[in-house]
Amino acid sequence: MEKTETHHGHKYGMVIDLDKCTGCGTCMVACASENNVTVRSDETDKERSITWMKLYKIDNGKPFPETEVCYFPRPCMHCDEDGHGGHHSPCVSVCPATATKLDHNTGIVSQIYTRCVGCRYCQAACPYHARYFNWWDGYSFLQPYSEGMERALSPEVSPRMRGVVEKCTFCHHRLMSAKNRAYAEDRRELEEGEYITACTEACPAQAITFGDLSNHDHEVYKLSKSDRAFRLLERLNSKPKVYYLSSKEWVKKFADNYTPDQIQPATKKEI
Amino acid sequence: MDSAFIPEGAKRCSTPVFFFWTIPWVMLLAFGGFSAALCLIFGLNQTHMSDVFAFALWIVFDLAVIALGAGAFFTGFLTYIIKKDELKDIINAAVIIGFICYSGAMGLLAIDIGQPLRNWFFFWHANVHSMLVEVSFCISCYLSVLLIEYIPIIFENRKLDEVKDFHFFGHHLHHIMAIFAATGTFLSFFHQGSLGGMFGVMYIRPFVARWGFYIWPWTFFLFILSAIAAGPCFTILCTKLTEALSKKKLVPDNTIQLLAKISGGLLTLYLILKILDTYAWVNGILPQAGQGLSDFGSYTTMMLTFEIGVFGIIPMLLLITPFTRKSNFWLIIACLMNCTGIVLNRYIVIIGSAALPVMPFDKLWTYMPTWQEWGIALGMIGYGFLIFSLSYRYLPVFPKEKELNSF
């Protein structure tokens, strides 16, 4: 077989089953560890704490014993472009230095740290708060508290410097590794499950499924077509590649905004 | 002591008095410099900006001063292109104010970005789809134009004018000033607009998202109009302040009146379009996004009412009514209110878009700047006072000064 790189227009995406999620936070820890996310001795300032995968806790607002709680893991949504001459991904089109790109072969929205100027326009444009700025030096001699921590760094992922924006990359380095393995084995295509993100792998409840949303044989494709499936802020047309599953109507209503005449949102009436 | 440098025939305060006048502004500038050094050395963790408030006080300041500095390009356009000769009596002041505003804003932006040494990436890796690229290109180029417009004024200093080369250079620059005025107008239109476009294109932020024409959302055109409506008023305010402090008449009344009248007319047009835009936003964009004005809270509605009603319609009425416009007191009130209105507009757009949540389970965010953020902002004010004071003292800023004060 000829060893040439082929592009088949994959669209990698994620489906998170909120009915299964227990809110244990393993996905957050696995993500941070895998991707060399910096840790400071004081992480109490949650507006400046870096969490590529963030867990939101929501409830139906009803008093005990009718209280129901749901955990909402939120990675980067890897928003797609409209494709009909309409919108670009919200963050990609605004970046002045082309430091963030939507790869049409994978659907992954990347972040080029060495090109980012730190203007933070992409952060202003992202309504999911999925982008994080490095307010401090991470693993650097300038930060004494990080001494020795460099030994825990993964060599697969570049650490980020102060003053640049970072975000979930769908563990892009894992895609590279999987492709390298396939190349060495004379394969042109990746098998399902050969490339999955760290959070998918770590989730003890198997609430996260990862795969190619454009491949009808992949589990993510089937799950994304489920009656339980919905996306976050879908009506704003940002076309996220992260789907959620829930059997609860009040959870689904939490995913978007509604005016009183459109639907009675559980969030506003019941809280 | 420095009388040889003071324009011929002009009366200025004594050197010690001028020295003491500059002390507070130098101190403010030093405070700003110290705050900037802290931010550059230790990083933006010196501020209270966050992943939520990516744009904060400095961007409000930037957008506000750039709008207020619009008097420079617009007066230049009226003077050199439309040939409103009366405005030649105030064009120098407008250019200097514009230069102060734009250079100060550029300085602020250089500190505001996380990697200041990569500022050239805006040009090298330019993303043509980004409104911020349009802003960076046009502001950088326009600052160069302002410098070219400012240089001949500097060369008119009594001592510098004695140097033959400076004299000829300045003289010839004056002759081709119309070209620079036209270039400045073109560049300014685009960056004032793209500053508004920056927010209008954020279609996933319904609070600021706007439809538009071609690639430009309506905020593009509204920002241009609001800037050219408020910029001349800021020029008038600075002139009136200089007149009050120097106890002299510096600009003829007809010049001020013409500028105020144009400002009033433009403010009227802006407010009509702004009200239409707000109506379309409330009844079109917001319901499409599943939101209503009430979702943003009474504070937002109150701020919008203040912006459009109190600091929009009232100064508009004061400026278009000949009786109030001709009264010095009401003219100053109108100019102050007009400038406040535009600052409020920029504040609502920037802080509102960050503070108001889009995800239903998100919360309303709050923000309070640190002293370092205030320090840099105040430093810019000190810088402005200093440059304008030095210019007024040593350069023939107001051509009619001698004539208006000869007894």
Q: Does A238 touch chain B (CB under 8 A)?
A: yes
Select from A206, A238, A211, A236 the least CA-distant residue to A224. Answer: A211
pLDDT, mean of residues A208-232: 94
Using a CB-CB distance cutoff of 8 angstroms, which residues of chain A are in contact with residue B362? Answer: 129
Q: Do B204 and A96 count as a contact with CB atoms less than 8 A apart? A: no
Q: In sequence order, what are the residues at sequence separation of 6 or more whose Cβ sits closer than 8 angstroms to the Cβ of residue B287?
A: A259, A262
Cβ of B360 within 8 Å of Cβ of A87? The answer is no
Nearest CA-CA partner of B234 in B383, B389, B339 = B339
* A257–B289 C-beta distance less than 8 A: yes
pLDDT band at A144 (very low <50, low <70, confident <90, very high): low
Tokens of B246: 């120097």
Q: pLDDT tens digit string along B359-399?
A: 988 888 899 999 999 999 999 999 999 999 999 999 999 98
pLDDT classification of A146: cutoffs 50, 70, 90: low
- Residues pairing with A74 in the sheet: A54
B395 to B151, B158, B190: CA distances (angstroms): 11, 8, 31
* CA dihedral for B178, B183, B184, B188, sign (positive or negative): positive
User: Helix, strand, or coil here: A213?
Assistant: coil
Q: Nearest-CA distance from B81 to chain A in Å? A: 33
Average pLDDT for chain A:
88
Mean pLDDT of all residues belonging to chain B? 92
What is the pLDDT, as a whole number, of residue A7? 44
**Please, where are the H alpha helices in A131-189?**
172-184
Q: From the CA of A115, how many Å to the nearest CA of chain B? A: 7
Whether A3 shows a pLDDT value over 60: the answer reads: no
CA dihedral for B325, B328, B334, B338, sign (positive or negative) = positive
Task: Count CA within 13 A, CB hemisphere, residue B217.
Answer: 25
Could you tell me the pLDDT band of residue A270, with boundaries at 50, 70 and 90?
A: very low
Interchain CB distance below 8 Å, B126 and A99: no
ipTM comes to 0.92
Going by pLDDT thresholds of 50, 70 and 90, the confidence category of residue B115 is: very high
Contacts of A262 in chain B (CB under 8 A): 287, 290
Tokens 């949650």 locate to A46
CA A187 vs CA A12, A197, B136: distances in Å: 19, 21, 46
Q: How distant is the Cα of A139 from the closest Cα of chain B, in angstroms?
A: 15
Is the CB of residue A187 less than 8 Å away from at least one CB of chain B? Answer: no
Q: Which two tokens stand for residue A118?
A: 């730190």
How is residue A160 annotated by DSSP?
P
Q: How far is CA B328 from CA A250, B233, B322, B334, in A?
A: 61, 13, 12, 10
Helix B57-68, helix B328-355: angle, nearest 10: 140
- Quick one: tokens of B186? 């073109």
Task: Please state the rounded mean pLDDT for residues B210-239.
Answer: 93
Q: In which band, very low, low, confident or very high, does the pLDDT at B157 lie, cut at 50, 70 and 90?
A: confident
Residues with Cβ within 8 Å of residue B303, at least 6 apart in sequence: B344, B347, B348, B352
Kindly state the greatest CA–CA separation across chain A: 64
Give the model confidence (pLDDT) of A70-79 as tens digits.
999 999 999 9
Average pLDDT score over residue span A48-71: 93
Does residue B188 carry a pLDDT above 90?
A: no
Task: Give residue-wise pLDDT tens across range B335-370.
Answer: 999 999 999 999 999 999 999 999 988 888 899 999
Give A100-138 pLDDT, tens digit per residue.
999 999 999 999 999 999 999 999 999 999 999 999 987
Contact present, A96 and B129 (Cβ < 8 Å): no
Q: What is the pLDDT of residue A267?
A: 42
DSSP-derived letter for residue A159 is P
DSSP string, A53-86: SEEEEEE--PPTTS--EEEEEE----PPP-SSS-
Give which of A112, A257, A270 to mutate to test B binding, by max B Cβ within 10 Å: A257
Give the percent of chain A with pLDDT over 70: 89
Beta bridge partners of A167: A131
Does the pLDDT of residue A2 top 50, yes or no? no
pTM: 0.92
User: Which residue of A56, A77, A117, A137 to mutate against B (max B Cβ within 10 Å)?
Assistant: A117
